[in-house]
Amino acid sequence: MELTMAPRATDPVCGMSVEPEIATSRGLVHEHSGQTYYFCGKGCWLEFGDDPERFLAPDHVPSM
């Protein structure tokens, strides 16, 4: 039997790998410019909500 892993997302603030289903169930999702972003925790979610462009800038280096 072959195991398939659920798709993962990357938290744009810290760079952690996140399971979208878990983030969604915890309310750690943010829509910005037609794109959905998923977060590892409330701190990253709040930071992103304050200034999404900061974390989406090409020169942003995740904090992890």
Domain residue extents for the chain:
9-56
Is residue 7 a contact partner of residue 20, using CB atoms and an 8 Å limit? yes
Mean pLDDT taken over the chain: 92
* Residue 1: pLDDT over 70: no
Q: Would you give the DSSP letter of residue 39?
A: -
What is the rounded distance in angstroms from the CA atom of residue 17 to the CA atom of residue 11? 6
Mean pLDDT of 25-48: 97
Mean pLDDT of 6-32: 95
